[in-house]
Every structure is written in structure tokens, then in C-alpha cells.
Amino acid sequence: MCSKLESNHLQFILAGNATFTVLNPGTGCRFTFKVQKSEPSEKYPEQVWFCSLLNGPDNWTNYILFGILKDNGVKFIHSNRKGISDKAKSSVAFVWTLNRLVNNLSLNGVEIWHEGKCGRCGRKLTVPESIASGFGPECAGKL
């Protein structure tokens, strides 16, 4: 089940455990991303989010890391290690969407859909208001 996010797109993406699809209804082009908040480590002592792209038929395991978000999610650093160029349509779509959200600009008809699970804890959402926001009631109160 996928549900269209109605608001708080950036908050959902940075919540810690978000899987979402960016869809351009005009072209039919869509990409599914996973953005996961890291735990502090020696390599990343500051908060970062790992950004992965779904690029295979298995919706559970075919994600490839293509970059990280830093500075409270406003700075994207691309990684070419996994073969996804910064010029790839998927990468361009992610950066374009993120920049529009960070700068509070219109998505110009582009839609963001979530997988029907809370963007923070991953629990299945069943209440219509929670489905619309992408957060369960407990997690919504913690953001």
C-alpha cells in the first residue's frame, strides 16, 4: 500500500526511517528512496542520513547507497562508489526534490508517496490522519 503524503514532506524524509517514492505524474517517471538517520560514529560524529535508491525488483533488499545528507538534512553529498552518477535521473530527481523542500518551494505537481509505514519508527499506519501525514500519533508527538 502506498499513500500520498499531504504535508510535512521534509519532516517525513528526515524522520529517521523513511521510504518514499517521488513521482512526476506528467512524465510517469518515479524513483523510490530510503533515507535512514545514522547513529553517531567515529566516521560520522555529526548527524547524517544515508540516502539509498531502489534499483532492482526486490523492494526489501535492492537499495544502493548513493549519498548522505548533512547539516540537518539540507546538504547532500553524492557518492559515486556504487555506480550511480550525480547526473543519473534518480540522483537529479532526489536533489531537485530535496532542494525544493528545503527552500519551501512548490513541487510543481511532483508527488511524494510513502509506503504506508511511519517515517520515524516504521510501524504500519492505519488511521487516515496518520496515513496522510506519514507519522503515527506517538511519533508525530515526538517530532
pLDDT in tens, 52-101: 999 988 888 999 999 999 988 889 999 877 678 899 999 999 999 999 99
The helix or strand, by DSSP H or E, that contains position 70, with its residue range, turns out to be strand 63-70
Q: How far is CA 3 from CA 6, 15, 21, 116, in A?
A: 9, 17, 10, 6
3-state secondary structure (DSSP) of residue 75: strand
Identify the domain containing residue 52 by its residue range: 3-140
CA 16 to chain centre: 9
Return the higher-pLDDT residue of 23 and 74: 23
- The predicted model scores a pTM of 0.89
Number of domains, the chain: 1
CA-based radius of gyration for the chain: 14
H-assigned helices in 1-143:
9-13, 89-102, 128-133, 137-140
Taking only the tens place, the pLDDT of each residue in 100-127 is 999 999 999 999 999 889 999 999 998 8
Contacts of 89 (CB under 8 A, 6+ apart): 29, 31
pLDDT at position 74, please? 86
